[in-house]
Amino acid sequence: MNLGAGARWYVVHTRPHAESKAAHHLERQGFATYLPRYLKRRRHARKIEMTAAPLFPRYLFVAVDMTAQPWRAISSTIGVVRLVCNGDVPAPVPDGVIEQLRAHQDERGFVRFAAGSRLRPGTRVRVLDGAFCDCLGLFEGVTDGERVAILLELLGRKVRVTLDASLLAAA
């Protein structure tokens, strides 16, 4: 999205679960918004489904030209708590942050990060759920999409297990 000459990105703090509502009402007032979302894996009634969720719950970005737009109206917009400020002055988002987020979007507009990117080979991990819940192992690498391989100590020997990346945490 191309911003006007004096426009910068700022952060808006929203009411709980009101990010989309706030974005809609800000856009109706003529502000450009960006609400980064990702596909969240959700388990419910023995089913796993993917749902769209905000990458930063209770926050969204708004582009404002402080000299030409009535930015104080943002805080009284439906769904908005306040514009994030340093004292009384709105705090601009550092250059390049929005572009970096958009660079990680897929064709449907969801932000995607490589599975297991936060872990390095050899990192100790704990399994959070499933048959190996609470087992400790070593992160081995990413296999495909959202699955990772780990080495578990089972019955006196190391066994390679492939799990969903969301089931692991650094130990």
Give whole-number Cα distances, 57 to 19, 61, 68, 164, in Å.
Answer: 8, 12, 29, 23
What is the structure's pLDDT at 116?
47
Read off the amino acid at residue 43.
Answer: R
Helix (H) or strand (E) holding 146: none
The model's pLDDT over 49-102, given as tens digits with 9 standing for 90+, comes to: 888 888 888 999 999 998 888 899 999 999 999 999 888 889 898 888 899 888
The ranges of the chain annotated as CATH 3.30.70.940 are 7-103
Burial class (CB in 10 A: 0-12, 13-18, 19+), 60: buried
The ranges of the chain annotated as CATH 2.30.30.30 are 124-170
Structure tokens at 53: 């969720």
Predicted model pTM: 0.66
Helix (H) or strand (E) holding 134: none
Helix (H) or strand (E) holding 133: none
> CATH assignment of 7-103?
3.30.70.940
> CATH assignment of 124-170?
2.30.30.30
What is the structure's pLDDT at 46?
77
The model's pLDDT over 129-147, given as tens digits with 9 standing for 90+, comes to: 776 777 888 888 776 556 7
Give whole-number Cα distances, 77 to 30, 34, 52, 58, in Å.
Answer: 12, 16, 23, 14
Mean pLDDT over the full length of the chain = 84
What is the structure's pLDDT at 78?
96
The whole-number average pLDDT for the span 148-167 is 77
Residue 55 CA to chain centroid, in angstroms? 2
Structure tokens at 43: 């388990």
